[in-house]
Amino acid sequence: MEYQEINFYLLIVFGGLLAYMTIHLIVRALNSKELRKNYYLSIAVFSGSYFVCRVMLTINFLLGFDPHSVIYQWATFFVLVGFAGLMYSVEKFIYPKLKFAPTLSILVFAALVLIYPRTPDGTNLITYYSIIGGAFGILIPLLYLYVGSQAAGDVRKNAYYIAIGAIIFIVGKTMNTVMLQEAIPILWIMAPVLMMIGLILFQYQILKKII
């Protein structure tokens, strides 16, 4: 089996994890008090939007990968909306001092994906929007690390584990680019595996008490 084929099936499993995470968060939200309910739901926006993105990217792949297609455009939009939801949860419930500037910045790039996807000469800007908007995601583990450093006991431990999960996920997502994978073929397998490990650790710890 080719590395690319293994990558395809691993990403389908990853999509299944996102769907499970979304449903689990919504169920937990419905059985939680108002503050934790909103916290869980804002994170469910991330996992749910990312799941929609994965479904659309799978369809785009099966049709013959095209970074200029409408499907790819909307998939990128949804993943950025997902990251905005996750960033919002951190800014709203974990570290409110940023005044939602990162969340709004990510949403601006998400809007640009739909409004101005390419230049008049045909240069595709979608990937650039995705990279720049997604770069704000590095704030998420940094803010959890900061919260952990200011807390004690289980809250500190949980914040550190969430940060570690987020870092593993970000590393895996960074590896999941064709340019890197063609240069280092083993990344076709390592990337989705790391994304799944990071997501599982992140989800498991996010359901523990931190707010």
CA of residue 57 relative to chain centroid, distance: 14
> Does 112 reside within a domain?
yes
Entry field: residues in the chain: 211
Residue 29 has pLDDT above 70, yes or no: yes
What are the two backbone dihedrals, phi and then psi, of residue 68, each rounded to the nearest 5 degrees?
A: -100, 0
Name the domain count of the chain. Answer: 1
For 3-15, write each residue's pLDDT tens digit: 889 999 999 999 9
Q: How confident is the model at residue 137 (pLDDT cuts 50, 70, 90)?
A: confident
> Does 211 reside within a domain?
no
> Does 129 reside within a domain?
yes
Picking from 46, 42, 115, the residue whose alpha carbon sits closest to that of residue 78 is: 46
Q: Which residues of 24-46 are buried (b: 16+ CB within 10 A; e: fewer)?
A: ebeebbeebeeebebbbbbbbbb
Helix axes 70-93, 34-62, angle to 10 degrees: 160
> Range of 76's domain?
3-206
Give the CATH number, domain containing residue 24.
1.20.1070
Whole-Å CA distances, 72 to 19, 52, 78, 184? 20, 11, 10, 24
What are the two backbone dihedrals, phi and then psi, of residue 148, each rounded to the nearest 5 degrees?
A: -60, -40
For 85-107, write each residue's pLDDT tens digit: 999 999 998 888 898 999 999 99
Q: Please tell me the predicted confidence (pLDDT) of residue 169.
A: 94
Q: How confident is the model at residue 35 (pLDDT cuts 50, 70, 90)?
A: confident
Residue 120 has pLDDT above 80, yes or no: yes
Tokens representing 40?
């869980």
